[in-house]
Amino acid sequence: MNRRDFLQGVTFAAAATMTAAGPVFAAGDGQRHALPKPDVTQGRPLMACLAARRSNRALGREDLDWPTLGALLWAAWGINRDNGRHVIPTAMDRRQLAVFAVRGDGVWEYLPKEHAIKRVLDGDRRGRFDASGLVLLYAAPGNDRFAPMHVGSMYQNVGLYCASVGLASCVKYQQHEALDAELPLPAGWMTYITQSVAHPAR
């Protein structure tokens, strides 16, 4: 990292910019990967998903493929309307939320407007959590009284998607803040909870 990039990151962390569409994270040169558009016709009917939804700690270790990752992130915080609104509601339309995907090839920030991901940390950091195939981190301002409600909507959507396609998932509070000091979070933000997702361990 050169001096200019370092100073830019420090300045951003000290004073993050907020817009009506949510947080604006620090600009960087992290690798970007466009995700496949989610197939909204796949999976079981909703009532069958509700009947099948449960925590499953028998989590495999392999990375999930790009279409599955894209569908999971879209279920959590994707945009589902032409007006830019998201799949979950937020109080007073604040939209101050972020999702990070911890994979074997790094930690990736979800960019809902682009339906893409940007690598913000290198290396396999899943061992900081439970080493399952994918760990999702749900972040929001620490002083937002609505954030727990919003985060709950996100992980419930993901849990229902997992039930619809046969993935294992488990919401966890342990070590939820393990990467907060390294993530490009605006000042005052925190990871509220994590969700591990994988193919069921055999």
- CATH number, domain with residue 54: 3.40.109.10
The answer to whether residue 180 sits within a structural domain is yes
Position 9 scores a pLDDT of: 44
Residue 88: band (very low, low, confident or very high) from pLDDT cuts 50, 70, 90: very high
For residue 186, which phi and psi values (nearest 5 degrees)?
-60, 155
CA–CA separation, 166 vs 48, rounded Å? 12
CA–CA separation, 62 vs 64, rounded Å? 6
The answer to whether residue 173 sits within a structural domain is yes
Residue 120: band (very low, low, confident or very high) from pLDDT cuts 50, 70, 90: very high
Total domains in the chain come to 1
**Residue 172, domain extent:** 31-198
Position 8 scores a pLDDT of: 42
When mean pLDDT is compared across 24-28, 114-118, 142-146, the lowest value belongs to 24-28
Token digits for 110?
């979800």
> Whole-angstrom distance between the N-terminal and C-terminal Cα of the chain?
42
Position 27 scores a pLDDT of: 35
Q: Are 37 and 108 in contact (CB under 8 A)?
A: no
Q: pTM (2 decimals)? A: 0.83
Length of the chain (residues): 202
The answer to whether residue 86 sits within a structural domain is yes
CA–CA separation, 199 vs 33, rounded Å? 22
